[in-house]
Amino acid sequence: MPIEVHAVHTLTPNAQADAIAFCGSGSKLEAYKVGWIPLAAYTGAIKQRRLLICTNNDDKVGFCMWRHSYGDLAIYQIWVRPDARLILHGRAIVLALHTIGTQRRARLLRLWCGEDLAANLFWEAIGFENNGWRHGPKRTSTRRHLLWTQRIMPELVARPRESVSPHAESLLLPNPHLTTPPGS
């Protein structure tokens, strides 16, 4: 089961268009969880090299949009196809973010997650820490969002597998296809 995470800007124009359609359908299907954004936002993210696609046997199974923000990598959207969940695709995407964060010398991965989402169990399971909460975008909404953070772990990316902690090892997956040009 070869799981691969691709930086979308490295793909062919046709594959980039397919990726945008995939992201758009995912965010439309579960807008309540990931937040709806226009397709143009994905095009912009590709130009800025901040969109990842996860594939399994070349089948698109998930995506992630992120941004380098105040020295951290902020995860804006992460989504795995409902039929492809709980089989390590989410972990593979987070490991790819550690690779990018290491290359860019970022300190933390961080994100806000609606408190009612099962995804909170995912962040906890892969070792993120809950460091606070805030109200959702609508002040009248009772839905809070939880802040999750995880220190960027260069040891996940650079060190031989046997030298990483058991927790860090749980995130390790081969990721030969993630390509981020130097200095980007």
Ligand X SMILES: CC(C)(COP(=O)(O)OP(=O)(O)OC[C@H]1O[C@@H](n2cnc3c(N)ncnc32)[C@H](O)[C@@H]1OP(=O)(O)O)[C@@H](O)C(=O)NCCC(=O)NCCS
Q: Which residues, numbered 93-112, are part of the site for ligand X (CB under 6 A)?
A: 111
Q: Which of 6, 89, 98, 110: binder of ligand X (CB under 6 A)?
A: 89
Residue 172 touches ligand X, criterion: CB under 6 A? no
Residue whose Cβ sits closest to ligand X: 90
User: Is the CB of residue 129 less than 8 Å from the CB of residue 97?
Assistant: no
Q: Which residues, numbered 114-153, are part of the site for ligand X (CB under 6 A)?
A: 117-119, 121-122, 125-126
Residue 91 touches ligand X, criterion: CB under 6 A? yes
Region binding ligand X by CB under 6 A among candidate stretches 45-53, 78-86, 95-103, 128-136: 78-86
Residue 79 touches ligand X, criterion: CB under 6 A? yes
Q: Which of 30, 37, 44, 102: binder of ligand X (CB under 6 A)?
A: 30
- β-pairing verdict for 3-7 and 51-56: antiparallel
The H or E element containing residue 144 is strand 144-151
Q: Least distance to ligand X from the beta carbon of 8, Å?
A: 17
User: Is the CB of residue 7 less than 8 Å from the CB of residue 62?
Assistant: no
Instruction: Return d(Cα 53, Cα 17) in angstroms, integer.
Output: 12
x/- track of binding to ligand X for residues 37-56 (CB under 6 A): --------------------
The DSSP result for 54-89, as a single string, is EEETTEEEEEEEEEEETTEEEEEEEEE-GGGTTSSH
- β-pairing verdict for 129-135 and 108-114: unpaired
Instruction: Return d(Cα 78, Cα 52) in angstroms, integer.
Output: 9
Contacting residues toward ligand X, per CB under 6 A: 30, 33-34, 78-80, 85-91, 111, 113, 117-119, 121-122, 125-126
